[in-house]
Structure 1
């Protein structure tokens, strides 16, 4: 229990908060040298100063630096570091300056009085004459007064800790983010989470496709027992693996937020490499591309590429190297994607894995639709996307 009481005294933030309270009295102390009678003037001036938008930014950064255990970069401190955007923000900033001044003056008074009491107790214990300790007049010459010295020091320590917690709580209330700022931060956080989920989906599609192609190619090469086919299979594995490594590197750069330039993501213009990869695995892939792909916006084209990639991966994973038809059509303001493959076994239909779920989620995000299931004896994945789904 004693250690719990003493723990706050070992934290540096306890003393930076104490310093923060003293800094609040500097302006008032400077004014005393000019005019010690009209003390209401600095109070009024501080209130007017709080109406300046940039003051909220300066006060927020200083409060984060001295009141937060993690410094001025601590966005989770509950203290905003932004200029006033509304009159409500300015009013709270003005009130903060007044409260900070009042608590600072109280902190200075208590600190001086309690430290003085400790010194007076030592003087009363050592000197023969009487001594005034706080508001008490004590006779001098009693050595045991020295045993009471820890009492005002302990009271000062408790006051410093309590005042620091109080000023921090007030800072969070008066300098904390407004409702609009909290909403903006929530939207930004949501966008970050959506972006990370999208990246995770891309990584799943890219690496899943590469591994599926590698497994199918290796199995086909072993079964063929032909050196020429084995060479082609190894080449396809190498090319697919290299593309997957590029995607992995790009994703890791984004997740690390390194600030380094990130390579461009593949679009439908790069769909040929998907088709060639599937053909190299032994599948008979027939592609039909109609309409100008240049009309497809970047986000739709990139997501369309991932949809075709996942559909082909599902074909190789569940049906193997079977005849497959891929249709990419741009017409009437829409992008139509269709991947059909034969079903050598009824069990190959599947359709409950994360791949099809990812296709549906991508399509829904762009305002489109996706269907998957048996169609005329074949398995068909069909996706329709508006060309202006995202820009």
Structure 2
């Protein structure tokens, strides 16, 4: 029994009960204003006044539904008054109620249906909100022995004490109607003001873009930090083995430069993840490839480089991704083969950019595992419409080769 009573009285303790009630009362404002404009509306008696309030604003609401911004206003109002709980950006997004202006005639039609439904539900609720408390007061007066005759209600000409039993009944009915109508409007808002297929597609595309951007940042951090750590480990080991102060100084300088660049990349990635920073630091491009070559040389590798073509004029996406691909290829050389001779070729022409990194394979090569680095290298090439391959060639060298088309990007 206690559970049943708590279920019955729970709506009285919830703020959303009263905000939904307010939402329904607001719906009759347009009809009330139209009644003032239309002379004689409030000289009617009984339910005629409420019928006028329900009918007069219909043309105005249909015309208002054609205005794109009306859908936004109605969506915001529905989110604030019909949905319980916090109303921050994330919570509002989870209500299933859209706050974007009408983008199509279908959106306008749904908005018109919503406005008419608000009027059809709000006016009866407003009428009951006015009349039922008056009826409870009439029963109270009758129980006290007074004759009552309020406008719009039947007269009580024979007051009796038993009318006191009827005093709470109109209020209970009013609460039940307000709660039920509020739940109805909350459900209808999701149908009539919910996102359209075009909006859902836009949200999905934006979410996909964020996921891809995060994946790209993860790949860049893997390439940059992995390269820096690999160079640092090799430099530290070589300096300890050499036992030469001069070599140690050069190694420390190389570690400092590599670490500084890694910190720059890390800071740029973190800035991109913060929405309040609109202009993150610039990403390195192939025009900065000499930095990678010097880093590999400082780690003990003999690097033979061949750079040709207008590298500085390459499209931004190709140049940035090409830099990361060369970085990953050199990192793999240092990590798996050590400080061995490396051949790097970067060639650009009008049609394509070609990247090639070669190095001798170790005498006892370990089993080749396709890790995140090589997989990311191939993914970068595919996203740009190109192709990348990695593996041993017929000369017994490990070869990484990528070709990225340029014609369609210019």
Q: TM-score, normalised by structure 2?
A: 0.85
The Cα of 1:116 is off from its aligned counterpart by 3.9
Which of 218, 222, 229 pairs up with 2:236? 218
The separation in 1 between residues aligned to 2:66 and 2:263, in whole angstroms, is 54
The Cα of 1:317 is off from its aligned counterpart by 1.1
Greater mean deviation of Cα atoms: 34-43 or 183-192: 34-43
Which residue does the alignment assign to 1:71?
A: 87
**Per-residue Cα deviation, 1:273-309 (whole angstroms, up to 9, x for no partner):** 1111111111111111011113421000000001011
Which of 60, 63, 77 pairs up with 2:75? 60
**Per-residue Cα deviation, 1:236-281 (whole angstroms, up to 9, x for no partner):** 1121111111111111111121234211111001111111111111
- Is the counterpart of residue 145 in structure 1 residue 169 in structure 2? no
The Cα of 1:6 is off from its aligned counterpart by 5.3
The answer to whether the Cα contact below 8 Å between 2:140 and 2:164 also exists between their aligned partners in 1 is: no
Greater mean deviation of Cα atoms: 51-60 or 130-139: 130-139
The answer to whether the Cα contact below 8 Å between 1:296 and 1:388 also exists between their aligned partners in 2 is: no
The Cα of 1:16 is off from its aligned counterpart by 2.1
Which residue does the alignment assign to 1:19?
A: 22
Greater mean deviation of Cα atoms: 101-110 or 71-80: 71-80
Which residue does the alignment assign to 1:45?
A: 60
Which of 255, 261, 264 pairs up with 1:243? 261
SS at match of 1:341: strand
- How many residue pairs match? The answer is 388
The Cα of 1:233 is off from its aligned counterpart by 1.6
**Per-residue Cα deviation, 1:136-168 (whole angstroms, up to 9, x for no partner):** 97964359739x73x655554444333222212
SS at match of 1:367: coil
The separation in 1 between residues aligned to 2:65 and 2:182, in whole angstroms, is 22
Which of 277, 296, 311 pairs up with 2:295? 277
**Per-residue Cα deviation, 1:62-88 (whole angstroms, up to 9, x for no partner):** 223323344384233222222222222
The answer to whether the Cα contact below 8 Å between 1:65 and 1:72 also exists between their aligned partners in 2 is: no
Which of 323, 328, 340 pairs up with 1:310? 328
The Cα of 1:45 is off from its aligned counterpart by 2.0
The separation in 2 between residues aligned to 1:51 and 1:336, in whole angstroms, is 55
**Per-residue Cα deviation, 1:327-361 (whole angstroms, up to 9, x for no partner):** 10113511110111112233246241111000011
The separation in 2 between residues aligned to 1:383 and 1:193, in whole angstroms, is 25
The separation in 2 between residues aligned to 1:332 and 1:29, in whole angstroms, is 71
Greater mean deviation of Cα atoms: 375-384 or 211-220: 211-220
**Per-residue Cα deviation, 1:80-136 (whole angstroms, up to 9, x for no partner):** 2222222222221112111111111122133334434554565566x2457799989
Which residue does the alignment assign to 2:406?
A: 387
The separation in 1 between residues aligned to 2:249 and 2:405, in whole angstroms, is 42
The answer to whether the Cα contact below 8 Å between 2:231 and 2:334 also exists between their aligned partners in 1 is: yes
- Is the counterpart of residue 197 in structure 1 residue 215 in structure 2? yes
Structure 2: stretches of 5+ with no match in the other structure: 45-50
Which residue does the alignment assign to 2:47?
A: none
**Cα gap change, 1:379 to 1:110, in 2 (>3 Å):** same
SS at match of 1:51: coil
The answer to whether the Cα contact below 8 Å between 2:328 and 2:377 also exists between their aligned partners in 1 is: yes
Which residue does the alignment assign to 2:108?
A: 90
Instruction: Provide the aligned C-alpha RMSD in A.
Output: 2.8
Q: TM-score, normalised by structure 1?
A: 0.89
Q: How does 1:1-391 map to 2 (within 5 A)?
A: 1=3, 9-35=12-38, 36=41, 39=52, 40-69=55-84, 70-71=86-87, 73=89, 74-116=92-134, 118-120=136-138, 122-123=140-141, 127-129=144-146, 140-142=160-162, 145=165, 149=168, 153-348=171-366, 350-375=368-393, 376-388=395-407
The separation in 2 between residues aligned to 1:263 and 1:5, in whole angstroms, is 59
The separation in 1 between residues aligned to 2:214 and 2:302, in whole angstroms, is 35
